A and B are shown apart, each in its own frame.
Chain A
Amino acid sequence: MEKFDRIRIGGLKVLEEGACVASSSPLADHRLGPAVCAPLARARINLSFLTHVAGDREVLCTASDTGEAALALLKTHADPAGSLALKPGTAILAVFPHDKRPEVIGTFIKSLARTPVVLHGLASSPSAITAVLSSSRIKPAVERLFEHFYFPGFASPEEFFSAQAPPKEYLEKVVATYQEKVNKVYWIIPQSDLDLWGMSIASADILAGFAAALMEMGQLGLIIPFLVALPGLGSQEFILSFSTARRQPGGDDHGSEVRRILRNHLPEIRPMRLTPVAGIFLHGPHFGDRYGIAHSLVAALDQAHISLLALSCTISSISLIIRQHELAAAQVILGNTFAAPVEAG
């Protein structure tokens, strides 16, 4: 068997018994709030995962028993030109912490590409990189992760699986109903001077090339504060969107380096760069246990006419990318919407 230099990392996590709904609406912008988040919030459906890229598509996950209901709700609000698909029997696989290191994120993607798995979604949280997979592929995916990562808490995949509580018992333990009038967030952290990269790749087969690009970015001291990947509906196409910054703020523009690396590893791809953008990271609103959190956020930004360029809700946090000149207004809006300390940007 091929030997790899394993990266030491804190841990991994599997959230089983999910269902994944993918929606695509290439002709309609600003529909995330009214057509996706609002109806799900009204129906009190908890989301365990949500990703969005502006003007194009979303992937969301719910508990398995609410997947059909989520699909039905989205259908009633769907753009006639759009598409919707339900994938039952999914699970979320996460490794953490990535510390925004491209090599950790890249190794996670490389490991999935080598398993191989069908990727239904990919997203970063402030600490974790997560993927949505079919439950049936979790075991081989975890086995492969152990070839690329060293997890101090578990000596082997067998040890990891034997330590997992039965899914039902685990769900009973973690599902809770919060009753706050204003949703509490641990911390809202803005990050300015980012680039947002977007690209369409023909199939997940070349994700390994993207993983290699990320690892080279790591060697240059870049960080990846945000990443989402959303598969196309009825095709093998993928949309990848990620932000980059230097580990130390300031310094020369790194856009040309990133573009060069992407072209080296993905010669067929034409990456688009939007700059400057800003990220806002809402740590720990526990959106997965509290229906309506994503709706509160999206509705507040919509009301303030702030355009959401990309969004990821995974693990317990929400990360969003907006245009830099809208950062100050977004901070005020989010400070009014959530009970949280806000760190100055």
Chain B
Amino acid sequence: MSSKYILIVDDDPDLVETVAMMLEAKGFEVGKAYDGIEGEEAIKKRRPDVLILDVMMPRKNGYELCKELKSNKWTNEIPIILLTAVGEAVPTTSYSHAEGMAVEAEDFIPKPVDAATLVEAVLRLL
């Protein structure tokens, strides 16, 4: 069975490393990108089976990239998990919860991420 390809896009390199380790331990192939523009380039090179996308990133934030992917017929079926610090745990950021809710991601997981929750979310979307 060919392994599923998961792309992680986050400007926190420690998070990218951690999530990659978690998913590789489950047998997934993992791609890494460190901001929205790099994420976009990575998706052009290889379509991920699931995209894990941080919200707060320089150059292009996760909401922007998510909206673009969902409005493009070539990419709109890529399942997206948005990692957001705009959940209950984090009430004060410049990103509004409403903005996040208007984005059609398949799942929203608040940071800090629970490892098991993230892996479960990926498995659910495959």
Residues of A within 8 A of B (CB): 10-11, 13, 94, 96-97, 125-128, 152-153, 163-165, 170, 172-180, 184-187, 283-286, 315-317, 340-341
The distance in angstroms between the C-alpha atoms of A315 and B34, with both chains bound, is 13
* Cβ-defined contact, B12 with A163, below 8 A: no
The distance in angstroms between the C-alpha atoms of A127 and B35, with both chains bound, is 16
* Cβ-defined contact, B92 with A187, below 8 A: no
Residues of B within 8 A of A (CB): 11-19, 21-22, 32-35, 37-38, 41, 56, 58-59, 85, 89-95, 111-116
The distance in angstroms between the C-alpha atoms of A10 and B11, with both chains bound, is 11
Partner of A126, one of B18, B32, B58: B18
* Cβ-defined contact, A163 with B59, below 8 A: yes
**Chain B contacts of A127 at CB under 8 A?**
13-14, 16-17
* Cβ-defined contact, B35 with A186, below 8 A: no
CB distance from B59 to the nearest CB of A (A): 5
The distance in angstroms between the C-alpha atoms of A94 and B19, with both chains bound, is 19
* Cβ-defined contact, B17 with A164, below 8 A: no
The distance in angstroms between the C-alpha atoms of A1 and B111, with both chains bound, is 45
**12 A-B pairs with C-beta separation under 8 A:** A11-B34, A11-B38, A97-B17, A126-B18, A128-B14, A153-B34, A163-B37, A176-B93, A178-B89, A184-B112, A187-B22, A286-B112
With contacts A179-B91, A184-B112 taken as known, whether A126 is within 8 angstroms of B34 at the C-beta atoms is: no
**Chain B contacts of A163 at CB under 8 A?**
35, 37, 58-59
The distance in angstroms between the C-alpha atoms of A284 and B14, with both chains bound, is 6
Of all A-B residue pairs in the complex, the 9 with the closest CB atoms, nearest first, are A96-B13, A127-B17, A283-B18, A11-B34, A127-B13, A184-B112, A176-B90, A317-B14, A153-B38
Most buried by A among B14, B33, B92: B14
CB distance from A152 to the nearest CB of B (A): 7
CB distance from A313 to the nearest CB of B (A): 11
**Chain B contacts of A285 at CB under 8 A?**
112
**Chain A binding site: helix, strand, loop or mixed by DSSP?**
loop
Chain B residue with minimal CB distance to A171?
B94
**Chain B contacts of A174 at CB under 8 A?**
56, 93
Partner of B18, one of A94, A177, A187: A187
With contacts A153-B38, A186-B113 taken as known, whether A172 is within 8 angstroms of B94 at the C-beta atoms is: yes
Partner of B111, one of A175, A286, A341: A286
CB distance from A18 to the nearest CB of B (A): 17
CB distance from A91 to the nearest CB of B (A): 15
* Cβ-defined contact, B38 with A177, below 8 A: no
With contacts A163-B59, A176-B93 taken as known, whether A94 is within 8 angstroms of B13 at the C-beta atoms is: yes
Chain B residue with minimal CB distance to A98?
B13
Partner of B13, one of A10, A152, A172, A175: A10
Chain A residue with minimal CB distance to B95?
A173
**Chain A contacts of B17 at CB under 8 A?**
96-97, 126-127, 283
Chain B residue with minimal CB distance to A12?
B34
Chain B residue with minimal CB distance to A177?
B92
* Cβ-defined contact, B91 with A315, below 8 A: no
The distance in angstroms between the C-alpha atoms of A173 and B19, with both chains bound, is 22
Partner of A283, one of B14, B41, B91: B14
Chain A residue with minimal CB distance to B56?
A173
Chain B residue with minimal CB distance to A340?
B115
**Chain B contacts of A170 at CB under 8 A?**
58
The distance in angstroms between the C-alpha atoms of A315 and B13, with both chains bound, is 8
With contacts A94-B13, A126-B14, A284-B12 taken as known, whether A177 is within 8 angstroms of B58 at the C-beta atoms is: no
